[in-house]
Amino acid sequence: MAIHPDREHFIPLRASDLVDALCTRAGPADGQHLNLVDQNEFRRFARAAAAHVHAQYRDNLDRLKTAYAPFDPDTDLKTVAPPTDAARDAALDGLFDGIAHLLEKANYTQMTREEFVSVMEGASDWGVDMDVAWAAFDRLEVFVRGIGHTRRFRRKWYRLWRREEIAVPTFRRVLVAVKQRPHPRLGVGADTRSVFLKLFKDIPRMDVEMLLPATRVKMPKFDRVKLGGSISSSVGYGVYKLSTLSFDAMMAALSGAAGVLGVMTLATPIAVLLGYGYSTYASFVTQKQTYLYNLAQSLYYQNLDNNAGVIYRMLDEAEEQELREILLAYFYLWRFAGDGGWTAAELDDYVELDLERLLETEVDFEIEDALGKLVALGLVTQDGDRYAALPVAAARDRFAALWGRLGAADESAVCELVG
């Protein structure tokens, strides 16, 4: 059983497409595909598995909806008995724990504060650095999934401002969960009682901080040095010139036509230096406004969901991922392992190799999690370290029995769900 730290557990394929692929394309390259009878049997099994997983996640949805209700910034519902502050604090902890657990099921990785700061260090390739007011956050969690690249264009002075295409590393998905606290940078009317959930796609790794509230664009160090230098030089030059004149000479220099010339002689270098400083500052302001405009334009298309919608989407992704793991583990044991079964390592290697062939994508299959589900559902038998799948008809009967224990409406409903 290989360990792949550079791979992800996420399986980038819809469950329905996975069933089609398993029925028609899975297995060794020389072809041992299912006949039509076995295809129909496996499709009925897949529908039964989907119904069971969906019922479980329906309970998860109800719990998360209840947990998020007091913190939903978009709700228009009334509360009969508003919770106390102590109850809200306890509910807030439960909400963030529930979100973290759900996103783990959806194969997201939670970033620590240190990891987040390390990723965002330095300016992006567009010369913009952001300052984050960490004190503005009561709770902040960031989750990511998927490493990708996007193509961007830039111009650098050492390339004579020629247009250059570069590959920018990105996070395919970024989820931000934040509760704010009062802070000057947020303004007077900031909502500090709600929890905001934001989901984005294809965010450059060095620019993840742009997704946070209470951030502002920082002037680059080189520009700060230029601006400070022009101001200090102007002041220093003026002080120096004045210090070399006696009081009487100064009065004489400032009187009559000679005085006008003297003032111009003194003021012209100062004006040049201050003008250079203003030019630096104006350039920064223009760059900042351009960046913020481009940011607003890009995030319009990169924002996938907000607040309660994020919970619904994540539940759907977690449900699909769990179903895919069940289908993959069961299918390969049932179809290729035979009566002797396979060890966890053998199953893991076979699934990963076939997924790579089918999807042209390397996946780190969560074999322990998948086998744990099959064992809990009673879909496999275990002899030592070897696992063998139940026949597909018996596996469907297991789901029917589980539905009976879950309290399905009647026997006909169970039969409809399982095939």
Element (H, E) at 96: helix 85-105
Which of these, 67, 87, 69, 68, lies nearest to 79 by C-alpha position? 69
Lowest mean pLDDT among 110-114, 276-280, 311-315: 276-280
Confirm whether 133 is domain-assigned: yes
The string of pLDDT tens digits covering residues 317-348 is: 999 999 999 999 999 999 999 889 999 999 99
DSSP 220-276: PHHHHHHHHHHHHHHHHHHHHHHHTS-HHHHHHHTSHHHHHHHHHHHHHHHHHHHHH
Confirm whether 211 is domain-assigned: yes
The number of folded domains in the chain is 3
> Residue 111 is encoded by which pair of tokens?
């970033």
The pLDDT-based confidence of 44 (bands split at 50, 70, 90) is very high
Element (H, E) at 152: strand 137-155
Residues 119 and 194 in one domain: yes
Select the more confidently predicted residue: 412 or 102: 102
pLDDT at 50 over 70: yes
* Per-residue confidence (pLDDT) for residue 236, from 0 to 100: 57
Domain that holds residue 326: 15-64+310-418
Lowest mean pLDDT among 133-137, 229-233, 380-384: 229-233
Residues 192 and 226 in one domain: no
The string of pLDDT tens digits covering residues 352-361 is: 999 998 888 8
Confirm whether 78 is domain-assigned: no
Which of these, 39, 19, 26, 5, lies nearest to 351 by C-alpha position? 26
* Per-residue confidence (pLDDT) for residue 363, from 0 to 100: 92
Confirm whether 165 is domain-assigned: yes
Which of these, 116, 326, 103, 84, lies nearest to 203 by C-alpha position? 116
The pLDDT-based confidence of 65 (bands split at 50, 70, 90) is very high
Residues 231 and 190 in one domain: no
Residues 314 and 353 in one domain: yes
Most confident of the following: 178-192, 224-238, 291-305:
178-192
* Per-residue confidence (pLDDT) for residue 410, from 0 to 100: 43
DSSP 5-43: TTSBS---S-HHHHHHHHHHT-S-TT-----HHHHHHHH
Residues 194 and 227 in one domain: no
The pLDDT-based confidence of 5 (bands split at 50, 70, 90) is low
Residues 187 and 210 in one domain: yes
How do the residues of the chain divide into helix, strand and coil, expressed in percent and rounded to 5? 60, 20, 25
* Per-residue confidence (pLDDT) for residue 412, from 0 to 100: 43
Residues 117 and 204 in one domain: yes
Kindly give, in sequence order, each residue whose CB lies less than 8 Å from that of residue 50, ignoring residues fewer than 6 positions away: 15, 323
Cβ neighbours around 150 below 10 Å, total: 13
C-alpha span between 163 and 156 (Å, rounded): 8
Residues 182 and 236 in one domain: no
Q: Amino acid letter at 144?
A: V
Residues 248 and 334 in one domain: no
C-alpha span between 146 and 246 (Å, rounded): 72
